[in-house]
Amino acid sequence: MPRVLISADMEGVSGIVHPVETNPERYDYERGRALMTADVNAVIAGVLEAEPSADVVVADAHGPFRNLLPEDLDHRVRLIRGRPRPLGMLAGVGDGVDAVLFVGYHARAGAGPAVLAHTISDAVLAVRLDGREVGEIGLNAALAGHHGVPVVLLSGDEAACAEVRELIPGTSTVAVKRALGQAAAEVLHPAVARDRLRKGAAAAIAGRAEVSPWTISGPVALEVDLYSPTTVDTATLIPGVTRAPGARTVRFTGRDVVEAYGVVQLLVQLAQVKPA
């Protein structure tokens, strides 16, 4: 019985183009939650169509990690929600998972044109692992690879799909929109998008043996460019974190990807703390 983890973000969900649809404090967020839940259900349907006995876990991986509507989610799966939690967006990946699917993902900060492109938070300008710039796609793919798990599917806009194919050529992709800017896109009708998501997920799970995990061997050199110099000042209080030349970059060498990933999570939390 294969174990499958679905990591679900929101910015790459079909139909979504603007922060009012992804921010809990904005007026259109409830509609965004419904769109996100429907896309995830389509992917679940595809996974279970290909592998009816699969053990499927869904990790809510956007913002507060409390976006998917539990009562509307396919009853055949288990849901991980809430934060903070170990392994962040990929919570559950260390539990004997055989394949990971990224649903509703977006391109990294600075990519464009790309819908709602960023890396975790607007406080982060760029992240590099061993000198290679990555966003949430790369960070989470590397974390999955550390656990020996391949990323077999990604859905999002065309820019996000291109980003994962550059990292992992064998990963299947489903593009549900084409970016016209940071908050504008040509989108598929949700019913069309969900049909493609179901079919794409089924094909990806059926062909999962053909995709290799994307691995980065330790030690891992991490560099993070931060928006606020004040956050840089605070970050250097973390053992092992040093300031790179310039006002905005910090460095850290992790024993492995898990340790580097944890430092990125901590830096984002520090950036949300207002200076005294």
Total residues found in the chain within this entry: 276
Which one is predicted more confidently, 1 or 38? Answer: 38
Q: What is the pLDDT of residue 1?
A: 87
Domain finish residue from 192, 210, 228: 210
Q: What is the pLDDT of residue 99?
A: 98
Domain finish residue from 181, 210, 239: 210
How far apart (Å, rounded) are the C-alpha atoms in residues 6 and 114?
A: 22
With beta carbons less than 8 A apart as the criterion, state whether 126 and 194 touch: no
Q: Label the pairing between strands 249-254 and 220-226.
A: antiparallel
275 has a pLDDT exceeding 80:
no
How far apart (Å, rounded) are the C-alpha atoms in residues 22 and 67?
A: 9
Q: Are residues 66 and 107 in the same domain?
A: yes
Digit-coded pLDDT (tens) for 57-93: 999 999 999 999 999 999 999 999 999 998 999 999 9
Q: Are residues 194 and 237 in the same domain?
A: no
CATH number at residue 237: 3.30.1360.130
Alpha-carbon distances of 126 from 59, 166, 249, rounded to whole Å = 24, 17, 9
CATH number at residue 67: 3.40.50.10780
The confidence band for 95, taking pLDDT boundaries of 50, 70 and 90, is confident
Domain finish residue from 183, 210, 237: 210
The confidence band for 276, taking pLDDT boundaries of 50, 70 and 90, is low
How far apart (Å, rounded) are the C-alpha atoms in residues 97 and 2?
A: 7
Q: Are residues 226 and 203 in the same domain?
A: no
With beta carbons less than 8 A apart as the criterion, state whether 35 and 14 touch: yes
121 DSSP assignment? B
Q: Are residues 231 and 190 in the same domain?
A: no
CA Rg value for the chain = 18
Q: What is the pLDDT of residue 269?
A: 93
Digit-coded pLDDT (tens) for 225-255: 999 999 999 999 999 999 998 889 999 999 9
Q: Are residues 73 and 182 in the same domain?
A: yes
Verify whether residue 18 is a known catalytic residue. Answer: no
> Out of 18, 62, 106, 118, which one is annotated catalytic?
118
